[in-house]
Chains A and B, each alone.
Chain A
Protein backbone atom coordinates (compact mmCIF):
# COMPACT_ATOMS: atom_id res chain seq x y z
CA UNK A 1 0.00 0.00 0.00
CA UNK A 2 1.19 3.51 -0.85
CA UNK A 3 2.28 5.94 1.84
CA UNK A 4 -0.71 7.66 3.43
CA UNK A 5 -1.72 11.07 2.13
CA UNK A 6 -2.96 12.25 5.48
CA UNK A 7 -2.44 11.10 9.03
CA UNK A 8 -4.10 12.46 12.11
CA UNK A 9 -2.37 11.34 15.28
CA UNK A 10 -4.43 11.65 18.42
CA UNK A 11 -5.67 15.07 17.50
CA UNK A 12 -7.63 16.94 20.17
CA UNK A 13 -8.97 20.42 20.07
CA UNK A 14 -10.08 22.49 22.99
CA UNK A 15 -11.35 26.03 22.58
CA UNK A 16 -10.70 28.22 25.54
CA UNK A 17 -10.60 31.59 23.88
CA UNK A 18 -14.35 32.05 23.75
CA UNK A 19 -15.67 34.09 26.64
CA UNK A 20 -19.29 32.98 26.57
CA UNK A 21 -18.70 29.57 25.07
CA UNK A 22 -16.06 28.91 27.68
CA UNK A 23 -14.04 25.78 27.58
CA UNK A 24 -15.25 23.63 24.73
CA UNK A 25 -13.61 20.36 23.84
CA UNK A 26 -14.47 19.86 20.18
CA UNK A 27 -12.30 16.87 19.27
CA UNK A 28 -10.80 14.14 21.41
CA UNK A 29 -8.03 11.82 20.31
CA UNK A 30 -8.89 11.59 16.66
CA UNK A 31 -6.54 9.23 14.83
CA UNK A 32 -7.18 8.73 11.18
CA UNK A 33 -5.23 7.72 8.10
CA UNK A 34 -6.38 8.65 4.62
CA UNK A 35 -4.87 7.25 1.44
CA UNK A 36 -4.72 8.73 -2.01
CA UNK A 37 -7.91 8.22 -3.98
CA UNK A 38 -10.23 7.67 -1.04
CA UNK A 39 -13.52 9.48 -0.62
CA UNK A 40 -13.98 9.67 3.13
CA UNK A 41 -17.40 10.63 4.44
CA UNK A 42 -17.31 11.87 8.01
CA UNK A 43 -20.72 11.72 9.60
CA UNK A 44 -21.57 13.34 12.89
CA UNK A 45 -24.30 15.34 14.60
CA UNK A 46 -24.34 19.13 14.27
CA UNK A 47 -21.89 20.86 16.54
CA UNK A 48 -19.80 17.77 17.22
CA UNK A 49 -16.63 19.23 15.75
CA UNK A 50 -16.69 18.27 12.08
CA UNK A 51 -15.77 21.70 10.77
CA UNK A 52 -13.06 21.94 13.39
CA UNK A 53 -11.63 18.65 12.15
CA UNK A 54 -11.54 19.88 8.55
CA UNK A 55 -10.00 23.16 9.57
CA UNK A 56 -7.22 21.35 11.35
CA UNK A 57 -6.57 19.25 8.26
CA UNK A 58 -6.57 22.39 6.13
CA UNK A 59 -4.14 24.15 8.45
CA UNK A 60 -6.57 26.90 9.40
CA UNK A 61 -6.62 25.86 13.05
CA UNK A 62 -3.91 24.24 15.12
CA UNK A 63 -4.82 21.17 17.15
CA UNK A 64 -4.43 21.54 20.91
CA UNK A 65 -2.63 18.22 21.16
CA UNK A 66 -1.65 15.60 18.64
CA UNK A 67 -0.59 16.32 15.11
CA UNK A 68 -1.74 16.24 11.56
CA UNK A 69 0.64 15.02 8.87
CA UNK A 70 0.10 15.65 5.18
CA UNK A 71 2.41 13.62 2.95
CA UNK A 72 4.44 12.99 6.06
CA UNK A 73 4.93 16.68 6.86
CA UNK A 74 3.23 18.36 9.80
CA UNK A 75 0.45 20.71 8.73
CA UNK A 76 0.94 24.15 10.18
CA UNK A 77 -0.53 26.42 7.55
CA UNK A 78 -2.92 26.17 4.62
CA UNK A 79 -1.62 24.95 1.31
CA UNK A 80 -3.06 25.04 -2.20
CA UNK A 81 -2.67 21.27 -2.29
CA UNK A 82 -5.56 21.08 0.14
CA UNK A 83 -8.65 22.74 -1.27
CA UNK A 84 -11.30 23.84 1.22
CA UNK A 85 -14.97 24.17 0.34
CA UNK A 86 -16.51 26.08 3.22
CA UNK A 87 -19.89 25.38 4.67
CA UNK A 88 -21.15 28.61 3.11
CA UNK A 89 -19.89 29.87 -0.25
CA UNK A 90 -18.06 32.96 1.07
CA UNK A 91 -17.60 34.47 -2.35
CA UNK A 92 -16.08 37.93 -2.37
CA UNK A 93 -19.12 40.07 -3.16
CA UNK A 94 -17.19 42.65 -5.20
CA UNK A 95 -15.49 40.16 -7.49
CA UNK A 96 -17.12 38.50 -10.47
CA UNK A 97 -17.63 34.76 -10.52
CA UNK A 98 -14.56 34.26 -12.68
CA UNK A 99 -12.43 36.53 -10.51
CA UNK A 100 -13.56 34.60 -7.45
CA UNK A 101 -12.60 31.33 -9.08
CA UNK A 102 -9.23 32.69 -10.13
CA UNK A 103 -8.47 34.25 -6.74
CA UNK A 104 -5.67 31.85 -5.97
CA UNK A 105 -4.06 32.81 -9.26
CA UNK A 106 -4.83 29.62 -11.10
CA UNK A 107 -5.77 31.72 -14.13
CA UNK A 108 -5.63 29.25 -16.93
CA UNK A 109 -8.33 26.81 -15.97
CA UNK A 110 -10.90 29.23 -14.60
CA UNK A 111 -12.90 29.28 -17.83
CA UNK A 112 -12.71 25.53 -18.11
CA UNK A 113 -14.06 25.12 -14.59
CA UNK A 114 -16.89 27.52 -15.38
CA UNK A 115 -17.93 25.30 -18.24
CA UNK A 116 -17.64 22.17 -16.19
CA UNK A 117 -19.78 23.64 -13.46
CA UNK A 118 -22.43 24.78 -15.93
CA UNK A 119 -21.70 28.39 -15.15
CA UNK A 120 -20.38 29.42 -18.56
CA UNK A 121 -22.72 32.40 -18.92
CA UNK A 122 -22.08 33.60 -15.39
CA UNK A 123 -18.37 34.30 -15.51
CA UNK A 124 -18.96 38.06 -15.34
CA UNK A 125 -21.87 37.88 -12.89
CA UNK A 126 -21.49 39.10 -9.32
CA UNK A 127 -22.16 36.69 -6.45
CA UNK A 128 -25.41 38.38 -5.41
CA UNK A 129 -26.86 37.58 -8.82
CA UNK A 130 -26.43 33.86 -8.26
CA UNK A 131 -28.82 31.37 -6.73
CA UNK A 132 -27.70 29.42 -3.68
CA UNK A 133 -26.86 26.35 -5.72
CA UNK A 134 -24.83 28.33 -8.22
CA UNK A 135 -22.89 30.05 -5.46
CA UNK A 136 -22.01 26.63 -4.04
CA UNK A 137 -20.72 25.52 -7.43
CA UNK A 138 -18.61 28.65 -7.72
CA UNK A 139 -17.15 27.98 -4.28
CA UNK A 140 -16.37 24.44 -5.39
CA UNK A 141 -14.75 25.72 -8.57
CA UNK A 142 -12.70 28.19 -6.53
CA UNK A 143 -11.36 25.36 -4.38
CA UNK A 144 -10.64 23.22 -7.46
CA UNK A 145 -8.90 25.94 -9.45
CA UNK A 146 -5.47 25.44 -7.86
CA UNK A 147 -5.81 21.70 -8.62
CA UNK A 148 -5.65 20.37 -5.07
CA UNK A 149 -4.71 16.80 -4.24
CA UNK A 150 -7.01 16.74 -1.28
CA UNK A 151 -10.44 18.32 -1.34
CA UNK A 152 -12.04 19.16 2.00
CA UNK A 153 -15.79 19.51 1.75
CA UNK A 154 -17.71 21.02 4.66
CA UNK A 155 -21.37 20.09 4.28
CA UNK A 156 -21.33 20.97 0.58
CA UNK A 157 -24.91 19.85 0.03
CA UNK A 158 -26.58 21.20 3.17
CA UNK A 159 -29.56 23.54 2.73
CA UNK A 160 -29.98 22.84 -0.96
CA UNK A 161 -33.23 21.87 -2.66
CA UNK A 162 -33.46 18.28 -3.78
CA UNK A 163 -32.74 18.69 -7.51
CA UNK A 164 -29.81 21.00 -6.84
CA UNK A 165 -28.50 18.69 -4.22
CA UNK A 166 -28.57 15.79 -6.62
CA UNK A 167 -26.83 17.76 -9.35
CA UNK A 168 -24.06 18.87 -7.06
CA UNK A 169 -23.75 15.40 -5.62
CA UNK A 170 -23.27 13.99 -9.11
CA UNK A 171 -20.79 16.76 -9.79
CA UNK A 172 -18.74 15.91 -6.72
CA UNK A 173 -18.74 12.30 -7.66
CA UNK A 174 -17.56 13.11 -11.20
CA UNK A 175 -14.77 15.32 -9.88
CA UNK A 176 -13.58 12.60 -7.57
CA UNK A 177 -13.67 9.95 -10.29
CA UNK A 178 -12.24 11.97 -13.13
CA UNK A 179 -9.65 14.14 -11.45
CA UNK A 180 -8.33 11.58 -9.04
CA UNK A 181 -8.58 14.03 -6.15
CA UNK A 182 -8.85 12.59 -2.67
CA UNK A 183 -11.92 13.87 -0.84
CA UNK A 184 -12.93 14.25 2.77
CA UNK A 185 -16.53 15.26 3.17
CA UNK A 186 -18.08 16.08 6.52
CA UNK A 187 -21.82 16.11 6.95
CA UNK A 188 -24.61 15.47 9.41
CA UNK A 189 -26.68 13.95 6.61
CA UNK A 190 -26.51 10.21 6.46
CA UNK A 191 -27.75 9.99 2.85
CA UNK A 192 -25.01 12.27 1.59
CA UNK A 193 -22.41 10.32 3.47
CA UNK A 194 -23.65 7.04 2.05
CA UNK A 195 -24.10 8.34 -1.49
CA UNK A 196 -20.57 9.60 -1.94
CA UNK A 197 -18.08 7.89 0.34
CA UNK A 198 -15.83 4.93 -0.19
CA UNK A 199 -15.41 4.96 3.53
CA UNK A 200 -17.57 6.19 6.32
CA UNK A 201 -16.42 7.53 9.64
CA UNK A 202 -19.02 8.00 12.32
CA UNK A 203 -18.30 10.60 14.97
CA UNK A 204 -19.91 10.81 18.38
CA UNK A 205 -21.53 13.89 19.85
CA UNK A 206 -19.15 16.53 21.10
CA UNK A 207 -16.38 16.03 21.94
CA UNK A 208 -16.08 14.10 18.72
CA UNK A 209 -14.36 10.76 18.90
CA UNK A 210 -14.38 8.19 16.13
CA UNK A 211 -17.10 5.58 16.81
CA UNK A 212 -16.97 3.56 13.64
CA UNK A 213 -14.80 3.49 10.57
CA UNK A 214 -16.19 1.34 7.78
CA UNK A 215 -15.43 0.76 4.14
CA UNK A 216 -18.30 1.37 1.73
CA UNK A 217 -17.33 -0.95 -1.06
CA UNK A 218 -20.46 -0.70 -3.20
CA UNK A 219 -19.94 0.69 -6.68
CA UNK A 220 -21.33 4.01 -7.91
CA UNK A 221 -23.96 5.24 -8.42
CA UNK A 222 -25.28 4.01 -5.12
CA UNK A 223 -28.85 4.00 -6.37
CA UNK A 224 -28.32 0.51 -7.76
CA UNK A 225 -27.51 -0.81 -4.31
CA UNK A 226 -30.66 0.53 -2.74
CA UNK A 227 -31.29 -2.41 -0.45
CA UNK A 228 -27.73 -2.53 0.83
CA UNK A 229 -27.64 1.20 1.40
CA UNK A 230 -30.94 1.10 3.24
CA UNK A 231 -29.71 -1.65 5.52
CA UNK A 232 -26.52 0.27 6.29
CA UNK A 233 -28.54 3.36 6.97
CA UNK A 234 -30.71 1.57 9.51
CA UNK A 235 -27.60 0.19 11.16
CA UNK A 236 -25.91 3.57 11.33
CA UNK A 237 -29.01 5.27 12.67
CA UNK A 238 -29.06 2.71 15.42
CA UNK A 239 -25.43 3.42 16.25
CA UNK A 240 -26.12 7.12 16.29
CA UNK A 241 -28.95 6.63 18.78
CA UNK A 242 -26.79 4.60 21.06
CA UNK A 243 -24.15 7.29 21.30
Chain B
Protein backbone atom coordinates (compact mmCIF):
# COMPACT_ATOMS: atom_id res chain seq x y z
CA UNK B 1 0.00 0.00 0.00
CA UNK B 2 2.89 2.32 0.76
CA UNK B 3 4.09 4.99 -1.66
CA UNK B 4 1.33 4.12 -4.03
CA UNK B 5 0.93 7.68 -5.19
CA UNK B 6 4.61 8.38 -5.76
CA UNK B 7 5.87 5.16 -7.23
CA UNK B 8 2.92 4.07 -9.35
CA UNK B 9 4.99 4.95 -12.39
CA UNK B 10 7.35 2.06 -11.68
CA UNK B 11 4.68 -0.41 -12.66
CA UNK B 12 4.26 1.31 -16.00
CA UNK B 13 7.90 1.04 -17.05
CA UNK B 14 7.75 -2.52 -18.35
CA UNK B 15 4.43 -2.28 -20.23
CA UNK B 16 5.49 1.00 -21.83
CA UNK B 17 8.87 -0.41 -22.84
CA UNK B 18 7.19 -3.39 -24.44
CA UNK B 19 4.71 -1.14 -26.17
CA UNK B 20 7.46 1.10 -27.55
CA UNK B 21 9.55 -1.88 -28.69
CA UNK B 22 6.51 -3.40 -30.29
CA UNK B 23 5.67 -0.14 -32.02
CA UNK B 24 9.13 0.27 -33.47
CA UNK B 25 9.46 -3.37 -34.50
CA UNK B 26 6.20 -2.92 -36.37
CA UNK B 27 7.17 0.45 -37.79
CA UNK B 28 10.43 -0.99 -39.18
CA UNK B 29 8.65 -3.99 -40.64
CA UNK B 30 10.37 -6.42 -38.34
CA UNK B 31 7.22 -8.33 -37.41
CA UNK B 32 5.78 -11.26 -39.29
CA UNK B 33 2.24 -9.92 -39.20
CA UNK B 34 0.82 -13.33 -39.94
CA UNK B 35 1.96 -14.35 -36.48
CA UNK B 36 2.32 -11.13 -34.63
CA UNK B 37 0.29 -8.04 -35.46
CA UNK B 38 1.66 -4.53 -35.16
CA UNK B 39 0.45 -2.11 -32.51
CA UNK B 40 -1.46 -0.19 -35.09
CA UNK B 41 -3.30 -3.27 -36.32
CA UNK B 42 -4.36 -4.26 -32.84
CA UNK B 43 -5.46 -0.72 -32.16
CA UNK B 44 -7.51 -0.70 -35.37
CA UNK B 45 -9.02 -4.05 -34.49
CA UNK B 46 -9.94 -2.69 -31.08
CA UNK B 47 -11.52 0.38 -32.65
CA UNK B 48 -13.39 -1.72 -35.17
CA UNK B 49 -14.68 -4.14 -32.54
CA UNK B 50 -15.71 -1.28 -30.29
CA UNK B 51 -17.47 0.64 -33.04
CA UNK B 52 -19.36 -2.44 -34.09
CA UNK B 53 -20.42 -2.91 -30.49
CA UNK B 54 -19.03 -6.42 -30.78
CA UNK B 55 -16.48 -6.02 -28.06
CA UNK B 56 -19.06 -4.86 -25.52
CA UNK B 57 -21.31 -7.65 -26.57
CA UNK B 58 -18.59 -10.20 -25.82
CA UNK B 59 -17.48 -8.47 -22.63
CA UNK B 60 -21.05 -8.25 -21.36
CA UNK B 61 -21.63 -11.92 -22.05
CA UNK B 62 -18.44 -12.97 -20.31
CA UNK B 63 -19.13 -10.73 -17.34
CA UNK B 64 -22.69 -11.86 -16.86
CA UNK B 65 -21.56 -15.49 -16.90
CA UNK B 66 -18.80 -14.82 -14.45
CA UNK B 67 -21.03 -12.98 -12.04
CA UNK B 68 -23.71 -15.64 -12.15
CA UNK B 69 -21.29 -18.48 -11.49
CA UNK B 70 -19.42 -16.41 -8.96
CA UNK B 71 -22.64 -15.51 -7.13
CA UNK B 72 -23.49 -19.20 -6.87
CA UNK B 73 -19.98 -19.90 -5.60
CA UNK B 74 -20.45 -17.25 -2.89
CA UNK B 75 -23.79 -18.69 -1.85
CA UNK B 76 -22.24 -22.11 -1.42
CA UNK B 77 -18.60 -21.34 -0.60
CA UNK B 78 -19.02 -18.81 2.21
CA UNK B 79 -21.44 -20.82 4.37
CA UNK B 80 -19.52 -24.00 3.65
CA UNK B 81 -16.22 -22.35 4.56
CA UNK B 82 -17.56 -20.79 7.74
CA UNK B 83 -19.00 -24.12 8.74
CA UNK B 84 -15.73 -25.92 8.05
CA UNK B 85 -13.89 -23.31 10.06
CA UNK B 86 -16.16 -23.94 13.05
CA UNK B 87 -15.49 -27.67 13.11
CA UNK B 88 -12.64 -28.47 15.50
CA UNK B 89 -9.63 -29.83 13.61
CA UNK B 90 -11.45 -29.07 10.39
CA UNK B 91 -8.28 -29.24 8.33
CA UNK B 92 -7.97 -32.91 9.26
CA UNK B 93 -11.52 -33.60 8.11
CA UNK B 94 -11.75 -31.50 4.99
CA UNK B 95 -8.14 -30.79 4.01
CA UNK B 96 -7.33 -33.83 1.84
CA UNK B 97 -10.62 -33.68 -0.08
CA UNK B 98 -10.33 -29.96 -0.73
CA UNK B 99 -6.72 -30.17 -1.80
CA UNK B 100 -7.51 -32.98 -4.17
CA UNK B 101 -10.46 -31.19 -5.79
CA UNK B 102 -8.67 -27.87 -5.89
CA UNK B 103 -5.80 -29.30 -7.93
CA UNK B 104 -8.08 -30.24 -10.78
CA UNK B 105 -8.23 -27.28 -13.15
CA UNK B 106 -11.84 -26.25 -13.76
CA UNK B 107 -11.26 -26.59 -17.47
CA UNK B 108 -10.59 -30.29 -17.03
CA UNK B 109 -14.21 -30.60 -16.01
CA UNK B 110 -15.54 -28.93 -19.14
CA UNK B 111 -16.19 -32.17 -21.03
CA UNK B 112 -17.90 -33.62 -17.97
CA UNK B 113 -20.00 -30.51 -17.46
CA UNK B 114 -20.95 -30.49 -21.14
CA UNK B 115 -22.16 -34.03 -20.69
CA UNK B 116 -24.10 -33.22 -17.55
CA UNK B 117 -25.48 -29.79 -18.31
CA UNK B 118 -25.80 -29.72 -22.09
CA UNK B 119 -24.21 -27.13 -24.29
CA UNK B 120 -26.04 -24.04 -23.03
CA UNK B 121 -24.96 -21.76 -20.25
CA UNK B 122 -25.03 -24.55 -17.66
CA UNK B 123 -21.54 -25.94 -18.15
CA UNK B 124 -20.06 -22.43 -18.15
CA UNK B 125 -21.69 -21.55 -14.85
CA UNK B 126 -20.46 -24.86 -13.52
CA UNK B 127 -16.88 -24.15 -14.58
CA UNK B 128 -16.93 -20.71 -12.97
CA UNK B 129 -18.53 -22.09 -9.88
CA UNK B 130 -15.89 -24.76 -9.61
CA UNK B 131 -13.08 -22.28 -10.13
CA UNK B 132 -14.34 -19.87 -7.48
CA UNK B 133 -15.79 -22.08 -4.79
CA UNK B 134 -12.52 -23.48 -3.43
CA UNK B 135 -10.65 -20.25 -2.80
CA UNK B 136 -13.83 -18.84 -1.28
CA UNK B 137 -14.49 -21.80 1.00
CA UNK B 138 -10.87 -22.30 2.00
CA UNK B 139 -10.28 -18.65 2.84
CA UNK B 140 -13.54 -18.44 4.76
CA UNK B 141 -12.53 -21.47 6.78
CA UNK B 142 -9.08 -20.02 7.40
CA UNK B 143 -10.67 -16.76 8.47
CA UNK B 144 -12.72 -18.53 11.10
CA UNK B 145 -9.71 -20.44 12.31
CA UNK B 146 -7.69 -17.27 12.68
CA UNK B 147 -10.10 -16.08 15.34
CA UNK B 148 -8.03 -16.55 18.51
CA UNK B 149 -9.38 -19.27 20.78
CA UNK B 150 -9.60 -16.73 23.58
CA UNK B 151 -12.56 -15.16 21.81
CA UNK B 152 -14.32 -18.48 21.45
CA UNK B 153 -13.98 -18.81 25.16
CA UNK B 154 -15.70 -15.49 25.69
CA UNK B 155 -18.58 -16.69 23.58
CA UNK B 156 -18.76 -19.89 25.64
CA UNK B 157 -18.49 -18.14 28.98
CA UNK B 158 -21.29 -15.78 27.99
CA UNK B 159 -23.39 -18.74 26.86
CA UNK B 160 -23.99 -17.18 23.45
CA UNK B 161 -26.30 -19.15 21.19
CA UNK B 162 -24.79 -20.58 17.99
CA UNK B 163 -26.65 -17.92 16.01
CA UNK B 164 -25.37 -15.11 18.19
CA UNK B 165 -21.85 -16.54 18.00
CA UNK B 166 -22.18 -16.58 14.23
CA UNK B 167 -23.28 -12.97 13.98
CA UNK B 168 -21.10 -11.45 16.69
CA UNK B 169 -17.94 -13.52 16.36
CA UNK B 170 -17.66 -15.80 13.35
CA UNK B 171 -18.80 -13.43 10.62
CA UNK B 172 -17.16 -10.21 11.80
CA UNK B 173 -14.06 -12.13 12.81
CA UNK B 174 -13.59 -13.70 9.42
CA UNK B 175 -14.92 -11.31 6.83
CA UNK B 176 -11.55 -9.99 5.87
CA UNK B 177 -10.39 -13.46 4.98
CA UNK B 178 -13.73 -14.19 3.30
CA UNK B 179 -13.24 -11.15 1.14
CA UNK B 180 -9.72 -12.23 0.25
CA UNK B 181 -11.28 -15.53 -0.81
CA UNK B 182 -13.84 -13.71 -2.94
CA UNK B 183 -11.09 -11.79 -4.62
CA UNK B 184 -9.03 -14.89 -5.37
CA UNK B 185 -12.18 -16.72 -6.47
CA UNK B 186 -13.07 -13.91 -8.82
CA UNK B 187 -9.63 -14.08 -10.43
CA UNK B 188 -9.96 -17.82 -10.87
CA UNK B 189 -13.43 -17.46 -12.38
CA UNK B 190 -12.31 -14.88 -14.84
CA UNK B 191 -9.51 -17.09 -16.08
CA UNK B 192 -11.82 -20.08 -16.23
CA UNK B 193 -14.65 -18.40 -18.11
CA UNK B 194 -12.36 -17.41 -20.92
CA UNK B 195 -11.23 -21.01 -21.21
CA UNK B 196 -14.81 -22.24 -21.07
CA UNK B 197 -15.86 -19.88 -23.84
CA UNK B 198 -13.04 -21.09 -26.00
CA UNK B 199 -14.48 -24.56 -26.04
CA UNK B 200 -18.20 -24.17 -26.24
CA UNK B 201 -19.67 -20.83 -26.97
CA UNK B 202 -20.95 -18.44 -29.56
CA UNK B 203 -20.05 -15.27 -27.69
CA UNK B 204 -17.83 -13.92 -24.93
CA UNK B 205 -14.19 -12.87 -24.91
CA UNK B 206 -12.93 -16.44 -25.04
CA UNK B 207 -15.06 -17.03 -28.12
CA UNK B 208 -13.74 -13.80 -29.66
CA UNK B 209 -10.16 -14.94 -29.32
CA UNK B 210 -10.89 -18.46 -30.52
CA UNK B 211 -13.04 -17.45 -33.48
CA UNK B 212 -10.40 -14.93 -34.60
CA UNK B 213 -8.07 -17.84 -34.92
CA UNK B 214 -10.28 -19.71 -37.32
CA UNK B 215 -10.68 -16.48 -39.27
CA UNK B 216 -6.91 -15.93 -39.16
CA UNK B 217 -7.50 -12.50 -37.60
CA UNK B 218 -4.39 -12.30 -35.51
CA UNK B 219 -5.09 -8.64 -34.72
CA UNK B 220 -8.50 -9.44 -33.19
CA UNK B 221 -6.93 -12.30 -31.32
CA UNK B 222 -4.53 -9.92 -29.65
CA UNK B 223 -7.20 -7.30 -29.08
CA UNK B 224 -9.23 -9.94 -27.27
CA UNK B 225 -6.29 -11.11 -25.20
CA UNK B 226 -5.37 -7.58 -24.16
CA UNK B 227 -8.95 -6.99 -23.14
CA UNK B 228 -9.14 -10.17 -21.10
CA UNK B 229 -6.12 -9.04 -19.11
CA UNK B 230 -7.35 -5.49 -18.69
CA UNK B 231 -10.79 -6.43 -17.48
CA UNK B 232 -9.44 -9.05 -15.11
CA UNK B 233 -7.10 -6.47 -13.69
CA UNK B 234 -9.86 -3.89 -13.29
CA UNK B 235 -12.10 -6.34 -11.49
CA UNK B 236 -9.28 -7.25 -9.15
CA UNK B 237 -8.49 -3.61 -8.48
CA UNK B 238 -12.14 -3.00 -7.69
CA UNK B 239 -12.02 -5.81 -5.14
CA UNK B 240 -8.86 -4.46 -3.55
CA UNK B 241 -10.34 -0.98 -3.34
CA UNK B 242 -13.47 -2.28 -1.68
CA UNK B 243 -11.45 -4.39 0.71
CA UNK B 244 -9.13 -1.57 1.71
CA UNK B 245 -11.67 1.17 2.01
CA UNK B 246 -15.07 -0.28 2.73
CA UNK B 247 -14.23 -3.21 4.94
CA UNK B 248 -13.19 -2.00 8.38
CA UNK B 249 -10.13 -3.65 9.82
CA UNK B 250 -9.31 -4.16 13.46
CA UNK B 251 -6.68 -5.61 15.68
CA UNK B 252 -7.07 -8.61 17.90
CA UNK B 253 -5.82 -7.89 21.36
CA UNK B 254 -4.77 -10.90 23.30
CA UNK B 255 -2.35 -10.32 26.10
CA UNK B 256 -0.50 -13.36 27.23
CA UNK B 257 0.07 -14.35 30.83
CA UNK B 258 3.47 -12.66 30.72
CA UNK B 259 1.73 -9.36 30.23
CA UNK B 260 3.01 -8.20 26.86
CA UNK B 261 0.34 -7.47 24.32
CA UNK B 262 0.32 -9.70 21.32
CA UNK B 263 -1.43 -7.56 18.78
CA UNK B 264 -2.12 -9.36 15.58
CA UNK B 265 -3.78 -8.11 12.47
CA UNK B 266 -5.73 -10.22 10.03
CA UNK B 267 -3.89 -11.48 6.96
CA UNK B 268 -2.47 -8.47 5.19
CA UNK B 269 -4.40 -7.21 2.22
CA UNK B 270 -2.32 -6.97 -0.88
CA UNK B 271 -2.72 -4.89 -3.99
CA UNK B 272 -3.26 -6.73 -7.19
CA UNK B 273 0.39 -6.32 -8.09
CA UNK B 274 1.83 -7.91 -5.04
CA UNK B 275 1.86 -11.60 -4.40
CA UNK B 276 -1.50 -13.02 -3.52
Contact = CB atoms under 8 A, between A and B. Distances in A.
Interface of A: 46-47, 51, 58, 60, 77-80, 84, 86-95, 103-105, 126-128, 135, 142, 146, 158-159
Interface residues of B, number: 24
B253 A89 contact: yes
Nearest to A139: B154
B156 A86 contact: no
B251 A103 contact: no
A159 B258 CA distance: 9
Contacts of A78: 156-159
Interface string B240-267: 0000000010111111110100000000
A83 B164 CA distance: 18
B25 interface: no
A142 B159 CA distance: 12
A146 B160 CA distance: 12
A7 B257 CA distance: 27
DSSP majority for the B interface?
A: mixed
A79 B150 CA distance: 17
Nearest to B155: A103
Contacts of B156: 60, 77-78
Contacts of A126: 250
A127 B248 CA distance: 14
B172 interface: yes
B255 A159 contact: yes
DSSP majority for the A interface?
A: loop
A103 B158 contact: yes
Given A92-B172, A103-B168, A58 B253 contact: no
A94 B170 CA distance: 11
A94 B259 contact: no
A88 B168 contact: no
A60 B259 CA distance: 22
Nearest to A50: B257
Interface in B141-171: 150-151, 153-154, 156-160, 164, 168-169
B153 A86 contact: yes
A44 B262 CA distance: 24
A161 B168 CA distance: 31
